Amino acid sequence: MTSLSLIVALILLLTIALGLIRVLRGPTPTDRMLAAQLFGTTAVAILLLLGFATHSPVMTDVALVFALLTAVAAVTFVRRAEVDPMAPEQDVDDVPD
């Protein structure tokens, strides 16, 4: 059981590594942020599994905080990028396709 959850956690870490490709490729900021959002959820799952595997219930707290914070970060992103008088330059190489 514990080794199974460890191995699954490892595979989830690998999917994060794969998902990084989307962050690298973009093309829009939203795509990158979306990938980060997925990392958040995956990290929550990894935390829960690791916590179970190593018998440390603390990790559930950390996972809870993670879940809360990814939500706040995503909201920051959505609200921030909506209106921003000085933003244009940043999107120069971010035009989709």
Partner 1 sequence: MMSLIDLFSGALILASLPFFVAGTLGLLRFPDLYCRLHALTKADNLGLGLVVLALMLQAQSWLQVLRLLLIWLLVLIAGATVAHLIARKALAAGHRPWRRP
Partner 2 sequence: MTGAQTLFDGLLVLLLVILAWVLLASKDLFRAIVLFISFGLLLALAWLRLKAPDIALAEAIIGAGITGALLLVGLGRLGSAVRCRPLPVRTTPLQRLSAPLLVGLLLPSIAAVVLVELFTLPIVASGQIKLVAAHLEHAGVDHPVTAVLLNFRGYDTFLEMGVLLLAVLSIWSLDRARHPFARDQIPAALLTLQRLLLPLLILVAGYILQRGAQGPGGAFQAGALLAAGIILAALCGHRLPPGHQGLLLRLALSCGFTTFLLAAAVTLARSGVPLLYPEHLAGSLILLIEIAATFSIAFLLAAAMAGGHPVPEAKPTAIDERKSA
Q: Does residue number 53 form part of the binding site for partner 1 (CB under 8 A)?
A: no
Q: Which two tokens stand for residue 57?
A: 């219930």
Q: Does 48 bind partner 1 (CB under 8 A)?
A: yes
Task: Please state, in angstroms and as integers, the Cα–Cα distance from residue 53 to each residue in 14, 66, 87, following that order.
Answer: 18, 19, 45
Nearest CA to 93 out of 34, 26, 30 is that of: 26
Task: Rule CB under 8 A: choose which of 50, 54, 56, 57 binds partner 1.
Answer: 57
What binding mask, one character per residue, do residues 16-35 give for partner 1 by CB under 8 A, x or -?
--xx-xx-----x-xx-xxx
Q: Which of residues 59-78 bind partner 2 (CB under 8 A)?
A: 59, 61-62, 64-66, 68-69, 71-73, 75-78
φ/ψ of 18, rounded to 5, equals -65, -45
* Residue for token pair 């989830």: 12
What helix, strand, coil percent values describe the chain, rounded to 5? 85, 0, 15
Q: Interface with partner 1 by CB under 8 A: which residues?
A: 1, 4-5, 8, 11-12, 15, 18-19, 21-22, 28, 30-31, 33-35, 37-38, 41-42, 44-45, 48-49, 52, 57, 60-61, 63-64, 67-68, 70-71, 74-75, 78, 81-82, 96
